């Protein structure tokens, strides 16, 4: 699979997560309210959301820079 295809797939996934977060923002706020009112198990939801965003957006960013052709500097290379 080419780098451009992988970048596009992860980019669409990242965009989809942002759209879902926007569409379900009221429900997310409701979970925060319920957590403050004593239903402590709901604290897990924002952690899972953050981990999912980190995974998907991080993969997209990595593939994006690969597709652009930018690589990190090799610090072990002798001058």
Per-residue pLDDT of 13-45, as tens digits, reads 999 999 999 999 999 999 989 999 999 999 999
What is the reported pTM?
0.78
Residue 67 or residue 76, greater confidence? 67
Residue 30 lies in a domain: yes
Residue 57 lies in a domain: yes
77 has a pLDDT exceeding 80: no
SS3 label, residue 70: coil
Residue 27 lies in a domain: yes
Q: Which domain covers residue 45, as residue numbers?
A: 3-68
Structural domains in the chain (count): 1
Residue 46 or residue 77, greater confidence? 46
**pLDDT category of residue 3 using cuts at 50, 70 and 90:** confident
Which are the contacts of 21, defined by CB distance < 8 A and separation ≥ 6? Answer: 28, 49
Residue 26 lies in a domain: yes
Residue 63 lies in a domain: yes
Residue 53 lies in a domain: yes
Secondary structure E strands in 8-73:
none
């Amino acid at each position: 699979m080419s780098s451009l295809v992988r970048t596009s797939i992860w980019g669409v996934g990242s965009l989809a997560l942002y759209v879902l977060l926007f569409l379900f923002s009221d429900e997310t706020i409701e979970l925060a309210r319920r957590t403050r009112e004593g239903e402590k198990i709901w604290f897990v939801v924002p952690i899972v959301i953050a981990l999912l965003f980190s995974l998907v957006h991080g993969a997209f960013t990595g593939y994006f820079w690969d597709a652009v052709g930018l690589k990190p500097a090799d610090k072990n290379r002798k001058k």
